[in-house]
């Protein structure tokens, strides 16, 4: 009996997740297409481009985001490797050298 309730529930959850995930992507693409078309047709896109070019803060944000996007993957790998090396170095220490008088945690005893 429970099997007949759980299986449809899991199936409905999977369908709901798919609709949510792909539906939001499709909706955001349609909205961006409409906004872009409206900006191009009204001629405001040139004003927006000029405003971006004339504002140094916005230009800096754009260049920073481009740099971060291009270097994030390389930094993540090196950070992960560095953390792994640090963790392995910490665990390779002498087990007998642990100071039991001041543990880094508390117990319920």
pLDDT digits (tens, 9 = 90+) for 74-105: 544 455 565 555 555 454 444 556 666 776 67
Query: Cα dist. 17→13, 20, 64, 78, 88 in Å?
Result: 6, 5, 34, 33, 39
Question: How far from chain centre, in Å, is Cα 82?
Answer: 21
State pTM to two decimals. Answer: 0.41
Residue pLDDT, tens place only, 57-73:
888 888 888 887 765 55
């Amino acid at each position: 009996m429970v099997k007949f309730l759980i299986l449809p529930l899991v199936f409905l959850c999977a369908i709901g997740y798919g609709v949510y995930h792909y539906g939001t992507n499709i909706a955001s693409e349609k909205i961006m297409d409409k906004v872009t078309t409206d900006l191009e047709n009204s001629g405001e896109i040139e004003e927006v481009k000029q405003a971006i070019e004339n504002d140094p803060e916005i230009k800096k944000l754009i260049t920073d985001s481009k740099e971060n996007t291009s270097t994030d993957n390389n930094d993540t790998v090196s950070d992960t490797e560095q953390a792994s090396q640090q963790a392995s170095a910490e665990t390779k220490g002498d087990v007998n050298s642990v100071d039991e008088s001041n543990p880094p945690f508390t117990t319920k005893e």
